[in-house]
Structure 1
Amino acid sequence: MKVIEDEQRVRVMEGQWTPEAVIKEIVEEGGHDEPFYVMDLGEVVARYHHWKELMPRVEPFYAVKCNDDKLLVSTLAALGAGFDCASKAEIEMVTGLGVRPERIIFANPAKLASHIRYSSSVGVDLMTFDSETELVKIKQHMPHAQLVVRIRCDAAAARCPLGIKFGCDPVTEAPRLLKLAAVFGLRVVGVSFHVGSGAEESGVYARAIQYCRALFTLGAAAGHAMHLLDLGGGFPGHTGSSIRETAQVINAALDANFSGCEVRVIAEPGRYFACAAYTLATMVYAKREVPAKEDDVEETHTMYFMNDGVYGSFNCLLYDHQEVTPVPLNTAEGTPRSSSFWGPTCDGLDCVVPRMRIPALPLGAWLVFRDMGAYTLPVASAFNGFPVPKVRAVVDRRLWSVLKELWPLTENHFVVAPPAPVAPLAPVTPAPEPHRAVFVECALK
């Protein structure tokens, strides 16, 4: 089979399978001692359709900063999503995939002048602002921009509060900025907000939408033809989470405040699409036992060293305040023991799980971490020379037959190997049909 260098390969699956089963098959091939991800494209597609079902009026503009994996971005582009870009590089990546400029919002309220000029050169006219100095900068470098004023409306609790950095006060600052933009001859076409990444409150969206309704009225009085409402992000994405309650709040608030209005409504989900689609596999390559005391009882504590850590995928522990749980790929037997898990670098702070109880693990044991798609890959570094994990993408054959017609690809980009039988996931009665794996190599544009 011909291998296309430096391109992601999509593995097309038949029959019953899980990300863990794919990991086990890859590990059993042998010769693997580096961490890797398994990405389930089906999870991304399912979440896109679920979003459209629950909030048909709200267009998802994927927040590229959450995970800029080219395959993920390409799949969302093929499905029809728009994109929230925060820099020249992100705009360049998305437009390079053939996404039209009107499907992009430059949603960084504080932008480099060179990035504004680049945005103008490629036709991305929609951008946010939250200060007078930003208006002055935009007036100088892109006076024809379509502006969106970003206001602050924070959730009572959020994994990553953003209002401490971005967003003007909707009552005291935003009205003044709308008038100032009119004086500058700039066009303000809408209002945006961000309740905080990983928000834990649904009602905040209703409060923010009410602020936006009031600003639409003030904007019209200042001479602005406002027609865009940007709900920002904050939507959950981990396995088992739901946006149903949040969708109900948003739909009700839109009906109450923008019913009958020709207003385009967008949002900027990131972790909603990325988080659960990625499963990380790491390997235990070293361990040491040290004396410890737990609940006033002396015992032996085992330190396990993995081939990925906080300078790699687990930077999410620091940046995104995540909590992760390692699950042995093969069932670990025995009495749970005091344990900790550490990354591969020479930094003593490279600790992934400081304390948990788990049966003893042998060297070479593989661990599985679910929900690792959000704010992991784009922030990971190769510190100490340890590589960023590669992504192994998988997709169900029936879904692939549809997606390949939507991607910016032709049949020449795919090489399909003959299907080969693979052992079932686990012996059951009656025995399931064995799943077959087909490797498809694609060159993403």
Structure 2
Amino acid sequence: MIRGCDTITQTSVHWDPKSVIKEIVASGCQEDPFYVVDLGEVVRRWQKWNLLMPRVKPYYAVKCNNDMMILKTLAALGAGFDCASQQEIKMVRSLGVSSDRIIFAHPVKIVPDISYASAVNVERMTFDSEMELRKIKHHMPHAKLVIRIRSDALKADHPLGIKFGCDPFTEAPKLLEIAAQMDLQVIGVSFHVGSGVQEFESYGRAMRRAAEVFHKAASLGHCCTLLDIGGGFPGTRDNSIEKIAYVVNKELEMSFPDDVEVSSEYEHETVTTSTMYFINDGVYGSFGDRIYDSKKYFPELLLPRSSAPVPCSIWGPTADALDLVVPAAALPRLRVGDWLLFRDMGAYSMVLAKTFNGCPVPAVKMYYVEEELWYGVEMFLV
């Protein structure tokens, strides 16, 4: 099936993608780049997962590939869906997937997305900070919360702990206490050891830490029944999840009773500042030059404040740990709703922008020019 087509070609035998590609190219009518999607591989991997880890329900991370035919296939198989934005939730719900099969697994959410989740009854969502609890309390107090802890693999190609996850020993107990004081319901624990993990015991270590958080939560009156073991599982043909499955199954048997629901995702820079700010644009939007050309950005507070500047870092809105806009800056203490100004934008920042994670691409709100500069130009505009 060529990506973008509405039809699926069915065969009585396994069809090698390379053979399909050869036929398309040999037809002589294809000059543009194209995809061939083997939906059978999606089904086979689903079956293998359920065979190896029957207690772990896969929640497909929409951010990794939001092709509608793949989403339809997984929806038909009964998969859950890991969404990180309002747009991703809308895509999944458009397929008829019920809200209880969706988890809003972004620890830092914008207010409109929280309100939308509330409106469509997507109740499960993650958090890792007091500020997030306050937003949820105000806009969706009936949410079923999953606390995300940090437990990084010792060796991973793509660590996520630099952006998300609270310390399971120092921060998690405090956040659980705050949630209890706010009368918010914490129903589970999540973690993500990183992608491209080369140290499989990291899953066992993270699960043991999660078990400790379960016990702390119970002592505060929370009833935890969900464990989300994140993602990072190998997906290439020369890798397998057998070794990870062994570690996960062993730890589940030792630390988590059968009535605990277990889910997972189906699929660097060192920051020394203590204050992390999240904005609603990032390196997949206007700040792509940060990745492509190592460009540096210098944020300004739109409405100046007299308080002394403090060290901070500024992060984009996606669930990717690479979405770091400013590794180190000094700004007055910011509040939710403050606007930041970035000057000298435009070249490449607009044309490279993508809608990764369902985050919208910034639009031009206004064009303006001084009259004396515009004189003699407008007559040439059609």
TM-score strictly above 0.5: yes
* Residue 264 (structure 2) aligns with: 267
Amino acid at match of 1:128: T
How many Å apart are 1:159 and its aligned residue? 2.0
More relative contact order in 1 or in 2 (CA 8 Å, sep 6+)? Answer: 1
1:7 deviation in Å? 4.8
Give the 3 Å change call, closer, same or farther, for CA 33–121 of structure 1 in structure 2: same
Q: Where does 1:114-125 land on structure 2 (aligned, <5 Å)?
A: 114-125=112-123
1:71-220 alignment, distance < 5 Å: 71-220=69-218
Pair 1:57 & 2:64 matched: no
Match of 1:69 in 2: 67
Q: Distance in 2 between matches of 1:269 and 1:320?
A: 18
1:63 is displaced (CA, Å) by 0.5
Q: CA deviation at 1:127?
A: 0.1
Residues 187 and 223 in structure 2, CA contact (< 8 A), matched pair in contact too: yes
Residue identity matched to 1:48: W
CA–CA separation in structure 2 for the residues paired with 1:39 and 1:160: 25
- How far the C-alpha of 1:12 sits from its partner, in A, is 1.6
CA displacement at 1:262 relative to structure 2: 1.4
Q: Give runs of aligned pairs for residues 29-428 of structure 1, distance below 5 A.
A: 29-258=27-256, 260-270=257-267
Q: Secondary structure at the match of 1:84?
A: strand
Secondary structure of the equivalent of 1:83?
A: strand
Aligned residues: 274
Using the aligned pairs only, state the percent identity.
53
Whole-angstrom distance in 2 between the partners of 1:138 and 1:238: 38
How far did residue 55 of structure 1 move?
A: 0.3
Taking a change above 3 Å as real, the CA distance of residues 377 and 46 of structure 1, as seen in their structure-2 partners, is farther
Question: Does the 8 Å CA contact 1:106/1:127 hold for their aligned counterparts?
Answer: yes
Offset from partner CA, 1:42-65 (integer Å, 9 cap, x none)? 100000000000000000000000
**Matching residue's letter, 2:181:** V
* Residue matched to 2:312: none
String of CA shifts for 1:191-215, please: whole Å, max 9, x gaps.
0000112222210010111011111
Deviation at 1:261, TM superposition (A): 4.4
CA distance in 2: counterparts of 1:61 and 1:183, whole angstroms: 31
- Does the 8 A contact of 2:159 with 2:321 survive in 1? no
How many angstroms apart in 1 are the aligned matches of 2:14 and 2:106?
42
**3-state SS of the aligned residue for 1:239?**
coil
Give the TM-score, by structure 2 length: 0.69
Unaligned 5+ residue runs, structure 2?
Answer: 268-287, 293-319, 323-347, 349-353, 358-382
For the aligned residue pairs, the C-alpha RMSD in angstroms reads 2.1
Which residue of structure 1 aligns with residue 20 of structure 2? 22
Counterparts of 1:209 and 1:174 in 2: how far apart (Å)? 14
Deviates more, 1:197-206 or 1:110-119: 197-206
1:255-303 deviation per Cα after TM superposition (whole angstroms, max 9, x unaligned): 1101x34111111122xxxxxxxxxxxxxxxxxxxxxxxxxxxxxxxxx
State the SS of the aligned residue for 1:144: coil
What whole-Å deviation, never above 9, does each CA across 1:325-370 have from its counterpart, x for those lacking one? xxxxxxxxxxxxxxxxxxxxxx9xxxxxxxxxxxxxxxxxxxxxxx
Query: 8 Å contact 2:163–2:321 — kept in the other structure?
Result: no
More strand by share: 1
Quick one: which amino acid aligns to residue 28 of structure 2?
Answer: G
Superposed displacement of residue 239, structure 1:
1.1
Q: Which has the larger radius of gyration?
A: 1
| Secondary structure of 1:97 counterpart | coil
Correspondence for 2:368: none
Secondary structure in structure 2 of the residue aligned to 1:198: strand
Q: Which amino acid aligns with 2:81?
A: F
CA distance in 1, matches of 2:197, 2:14: 34
Alignment check: 8 A CA contact 1:233 1:267 kept: yes
Matches of 1:320 and 1:206 in 2, distance apart? 22
The answer to whether the 8 A contact 1:189-1:226 is kept is yes
Q: For 1:178, give the aligned amino acid.
A: L
Residue 378 of structure 1: how far off its partner (Å): 5.6
Gaps of at least 5 residues in structure 1 are 1-5, 271-310, 322-346, 348-375, 380-445
Query: Residue 138 of structure 1 contacts residue 145 of structure 1 at CA under 8 Å; is this kept in 2?
Result: yes
Q: Distance in 2 between matches of 1:95 and 1:265?
A: 22
Query: Do the aligned partners of 1:235 and 1:243 also contact (CA within 8 Å) in 2?
Result: yes
**Aligned residues of 2:160 and 2:321 also touching (Cα < 8 A):** no
How big is the shift at 1:320? 11
- 1:165 is paired with a residue whose SS is coil
Please give the alpha-carbon distance, in whole angstroms, between the structure 2 residues aligned to 1:15 and 1:83.
30
